[in-house]
Amino acid sequence: MKIVKPAAAGTLESSDILITLKPGDGTLDIQLTSSVDVYYHDTIMQVLKDALEEMEVTSAQVQAVDRGALDCTVRARMITAIKRGSEVES
């Protein structure tokens, strides 16, 4: 999928993750801050990358602010943001 416009999904509530997505410059750039950085930074990054790969997104700017979201929430929010960011206005 191609990210054609900025999109966001999720919130800053506890156990959620706020993901903002913008069209990229040909690469994947992921910025992640997390309340559980110390334990789960790598895990969360992997979940984000996996979702991007599965949806065939190769170019995007991703900013993620995590408040202790579980993997399923991280994945859900990333997928929602991708779908929103690749919607073509009809």
Partner 1 sequence: MRRTMLFLPGNNPNMVMNGGVLGADSIIFDLEDAVAPDQKDAARELVRCALEMLDFGGCEIIVRINALDTPYWKEDLEAMIPLKPDVIMPTKVSGAAYIHELEAKMAEEEEKNGIEIGRTRIIPLLETTLGIENAFEIARSTKRMAALYLGAEDLTADLRCRRTKEGNEIAYARGRLVCAARAAGIDAYDTPFTDVEDLAGLKKDAELARGLGYTGKAVISPRHVDIVNAVFSPSKEDVAYARDVFAAMEEAKEQGKGAVSLRGKMIDAPIVERARQVLEAAAQIGGMLDE
Partner 2 sequence: MSKLAGSLREAIAASGLRDGMCISFHHHLRSGDYVLNMVLDEIAAMGIRDLTVNASSIHDGHAPMIEHMKSGVVTGLETNYIGPAVGRAISEGVLKNPVIFRTHGSRPSDLEQGVSKIDVAFLAAPTADPMGNCTGKIGKSACGSLGYAFVDAQCAAKTVVITDNLVDYPLYDWSISEDFVDYVVQVDAIGDPRGIVSGTTRMPKDPIALRIAQTAARAIDASGLLKDGVSFQTGAGGASLATADFLKQIMLEKHIKGSYALGGITGYIVDMLNEGLFEAIQDVQCFDLKAVESLRTNPRHMEITASRYASPTAKSTAAGSLDVVVLGATQIDLDFNVNVHTDSKGYIIGGSGGHTDVAACAKLTVIVAPLSRARMPIVVDRVLTVSTPGSSVDMLVTQYGIAVNPARPELKEALQKAHLPVKDIGELKALADKINGAPKKREIKKDRIVAKVQNRDGSLLDVIYGV
Non-local CB neighbours of 15 within 8 Å, separated by 6+ positions: 67, 68, 69, 70, 73
How many other CB atoms are found less than 10 A from the CB of residue 39? 11
Tell which positions 48-67 bind partner 2, by CB under 8 A: 67
Task: Select the binding partner of residue 38 from partner 2, partner 1, none (C-beta < 5 to 8 A, by kind).
Answer: partner 2
Q: Are 1 and 86 in contact (CB under 8 A)?
A: yes
CA distance 73 to 9: 11
Of 12, 57, 80, 90, the residue at the interface with partner 1 (CB under 8 A) is: 80
Residue 81 beta carbon to partner 1: minimum distance, rounded to whole angstroms? 9
Of partner 1, partner 2, none, which one sits near residue 83, judging by CB under 5 to 8 A according to partner kind?
partner 1
Footprint on this chain of partner 1 (rule: CB under 8 A): 9-10, 13-16, 69-73, 75-77, 79-80, 83-84
